[in-house]
Homo-oligomer: A and B are copies of this chain.
């Protein structure tokens, strides 16, 4: 006789868990080739030592995050040097699809890990801060482009739109998950989060690749987990001066040195009831891993379901123009 698919009959035994990791790392001096090598090494480690089924990499991992650069811009002026810098940065970005994407698909398949990876996406003349979703069986299955770059990022990255508000379905064995991504300060967009909550409320793994290293970031991650009753996986970059081209800007030009910290990290994994499962980790590269008990989502929704019994749809309706599923 047929049975409901989402959740097993309660008379069955067994916990419904997923092993997931966030990887704190950075790109290799804007070299795509070398960064892909780092990616493979880290996936190998995550799988081999942690048994990770799902690994989240930071914002701009492939392509790089040009911390401290101004790209030669002042109000009303751009410099030739800035244009050259942009050209270099553009050349380090990734087309979708492309051989780079194929390489990532191969890594995912080889190690049997679902990958969520921050990349700088090149779409002709414009760059986007993008996250890609790569399934070990299906390959590339979706992406999300950052909707609202912050401050000077607006000089180098374009804005995403609703077509990449991806909610990716994935079965880890008999455990279903729905994955979304919000990049850096997109996490401060309550309407974006609300949309994700409404689409992925049953088994939501919320990925938050970032380069935000403030202590306050932890509050936001914890809040998002509590508000959305979802697992939050935030992967931040850890980068030092040596990870950038030699002429790259730094904070204190007078005190240059390979080990100067450019981005200090802060990766973390949090449960739907706000419990910190791993991290936060600062001042080092590394992999944080946790076992996600997917039933914690329902345990949490018992008293708070912002897209369900706590929603007040009679008062608030969120209209999302252009999303694939309305």
Query: When the two chains form the complex, which single residue of B67, B190, B308 contacts A75, counting CB atoms closer than 8 Å?
Result: B67
Stretch of A46-54, A131-139, A218-226, A282-290 at the chain-chain interface: A218-226
Residue from A6, A193, A306, A310 with most neighbouring chain B CB atoms (10 Å):
A310
- Say whether A229 faces chain B, with CB atoms less than 8 Å apart: yes
Q: Which residue of B lies closest to A84 (CB)?
A: B299
Q: State the CA gap A126–B83 with chains docked (Å).
A: 28
Q: Which residue of B lies closest to A36 (CB)?
A: B1
Query: When the two chains form the complex, which single residue of B125, B152, B274, B323 contacts A297, counting CB atoms closer than 8 Å?
Result: B125
- CB pair A75–B82 under 8 Å, yes or no, is no
B-side contacts of A115, CB under 8 Å: none
B-side contacts of A157, CB under 8 Å: 309
* Contact residues of A between 87 and 119, Cβ < 8 Å to B: 87-88, 90-95, 98-100, 102-103
- CB pair B317–A315 under 8 Å, yes or no, is no
- Say whether A73 faces chain B, with CB atoms less than 8 Å apart: yes
- List 22 A–B pairs whose Cβ atoms lie within 8 Å, in order of A's numbering: A4-B98, A7-B122, A69-B74, A69-B75, A76-B153, A76-B211, A78-B303, A86-B298, A91-B298, A150-B304, A155-B303, A161-B314, A188-B227, A190-B194, A216-B226, A219-B226, A219-B274, A220-B226, A314-B314, A315-B322, A316-B320, A317-B319
- Say whether A171 faces chain B, with CB atoms less than 8 Å apart: no
Closest 9 CB pairs of A and B: A314-B314, A126-B308, A125-B301, A2-B99, A154-B154, A158-B309, A190-B190, A124-B202, A223-B223
- CB pair B75–A153 under 8 Å, yes or no, is yes
Taken together, the copies of this chain in the complex come to: 6
- Say whether A31 faces chain B, with CB atoms less than 8 Å apart: yes
Q: State the CA gap A125–B306 with chains docked (Å).
A: 9
A298 to chain B, nearest CB (A): 5
- CB pair B31–A75 under 8 Å, yes or no, is no
* Contact residues of A between 45 and 72, Cβ < 8 Å to B: 65-71
A246 to chain B, nearest CB (A): 12
Instruction: Tell me the A residues contacting B by CB distance below 8 Å.
Output: 1-11, 30-33, 36-37, 65-71, 73-78, 82-84, 86-88, 90-95, 98-100, 102-103, 122-126, 147-148, 150-159, 161-162, 185, 188-195, 197, 201-202, 211, 214, 216, 218-220, 222-224, 226-227, 229, 249, 251, 263, 274, 295, 297-323
- CB pair B216–A274 under 8 Å, yes or no, is yes
- CB pair B315–A151 under 8 Å, yes or no, is no
B-side contacts of A91, CB under 8 Å: 7-10, 298
